[in-house]
């Protein structure tokens, strides 16, 4: 009898943990987006694709800004079919190429008269890998070795890959589209960051000398650079909000949650078998994982929270380092120089 009682308590606690902690809150906004245009970077997979589907169902014209033409067009077909919308468009964007970012912005501004929401969702990670957002960090399990994360690399402009794609590419894209966002206000910029930013740091000596967050290639070093890049996202949002005061554009950063987004890609059946119980119980699916993004993009009444950081559809306090005015301004000015805006 005692064992049954203990078992019942364990099952009850597990159920509550799963329902409340893992699944998290849902975006409750009923906002419709007919006549509005939204850009979602990295929307050919994971939470980006699920975000795009939701926005398309609300009537938005959704621009899928993705690096891979093949995967982008496949996502376009799927998102159009699932949402029932004919207002979904694929436009190629490689955030690891400043030339590509400028080309995308130029083409967009020529062909699209509006921009109401910009969602900077894309996140550099190895293509043939299992991606698990655990505590906000994408843990990557290689199809070949069963372990490992991003190998350190460079963008075509010579920037550290993590820094160049996760921060500088989005920084340039946002700045090139800011005037259109202002013209169409009230409008929003949503930067998908991570709770991993809590572990981040900004080494300006390394950035100025090597144009990278760090030079190491070990597992722990690359995880550190990922955290550093996510801190850049939060600091960028903090500074952007200050520069947008007096306009009708607001901006937000967020942690999407612990998400299993790429389980089916390039993994052996044995690995998937052992990982499935873990991912099913401890990780959000992509629909649950996009809820805070949708909250920041759509929720009425959060305009006064511009520049703030959200998690589980709720505004959160951040450490002092993530709202340091001097560091945020210094990062902005460095980013301007690196992408040729200064």
- Taking the C-alpha atoms of residue 103 and residue 264, their distance in angstroms, rounded to an integer, is 32
Q: Return the H-helix or E-strand segment holding 74.
A: helix 69-83
Residue that is written with structure tokens 């945020």 in the block? 328
Distance of CA 146 to the CA centre of its chain: 25
Q: Which residues contact 206 (CB under 8 A, 6 or more apart)?
A: 212, 213, 214, 215
Cα torsion through 331, 180, 192, 149, rounded to 10: -70
User: What SS3 state is found at 214?
Assistant: coil
Is residue 125 among the annotated active site residues? no
Question: Looking at the chain, how many residues does it have?
Answer: 342
Q: Is 262 exposed, middle or buried (0-12, 13-18, 19+ CB in 10 A)?
A: buried
- Taking the C-alpha atoms of residue 130 and residue 152, their distance in angstroms, rounded to an integer, is 18
Out of 125, 225, 226, 309, which one is annotated catalytic?
A: 226
Strands 129-134, 117-120: pairing kind: unpaired
User: What SS3 state is found at 106?
Assistant: helix
User: What SS3 state is found at 44?
Assistant: coil
Are 187 and 249 spatial neighbours (Cβ–Cβ below 8 Å)? yes
First-last CA distance in the chain: 72
Catalytic residues: 226
């Amino acid at each position: 009898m005692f064992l049954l009682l203990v078992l019942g308590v364990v099952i009850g606690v597990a159920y509550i943990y799963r329902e409340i902690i893992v699944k998290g809150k849902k975006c409750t906004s009923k906002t419709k987006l007919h006549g509005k245009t939204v850009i979602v970077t990295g929307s050919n997979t994971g939470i980006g694709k699920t975000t795009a589907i939701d926005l398309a169902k609300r009537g938005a014209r959704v621009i899928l800004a993705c690096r891979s033409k093949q995967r982008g067009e496949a996502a376009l077909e799927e998102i159009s079919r699932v949402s029932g919308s004919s207002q979904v468009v694929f436009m190629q964007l490689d955030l690891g190429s400043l030339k590509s970012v400028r080309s995308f912005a130029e083409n967009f501004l020529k062909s699209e008269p509006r921009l109401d929401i910009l969602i900077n969702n894309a996140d550099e990670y190895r293509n043939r890998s299992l991606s698990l957002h655990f505590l906000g960090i994408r843990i990557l399990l290689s199809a070949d070795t069963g372990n490992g994360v991003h190998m350190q690399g460079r963008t075509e402009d010579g920037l550290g890959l993590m820094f160049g794609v996760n921060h500088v590419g989005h920084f340039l894209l946002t700045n090139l589209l800011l005037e259109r966002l202002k013209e169409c206000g009230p409008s929003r910029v949503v930067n998908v960051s991570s709770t991993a930013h809590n572990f981040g740091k900004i080494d300006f000596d390394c950035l100025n000398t090597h144009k990278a967050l760090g030079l190491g290639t070990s597992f722990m070093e690359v995880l550190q650079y990922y955290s550093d890049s996510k801190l850049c996202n939060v600091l960028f949002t903090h500074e952007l909000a200050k520069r947008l005061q007096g306009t009708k554009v607001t901006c937000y950063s967020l942690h999407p949650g612990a998400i299993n987004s790429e389980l089916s890609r390039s993994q052996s059946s044995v690995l998937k078998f052992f990982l499935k119980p873990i991912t099913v119980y401890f990780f959000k699916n992509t629909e649950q994982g996009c809820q805070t993004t949708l909250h920041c993009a759509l929720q009425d009444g959060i305009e006064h929270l511009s520049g703030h950081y959200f998690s589980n559809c709720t505004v959160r306090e951040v450490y002092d380092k993530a709202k340091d005015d001097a560091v945020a301004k210094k990062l902005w000015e460095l980013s301007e120089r690196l992408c040729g805006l200064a």
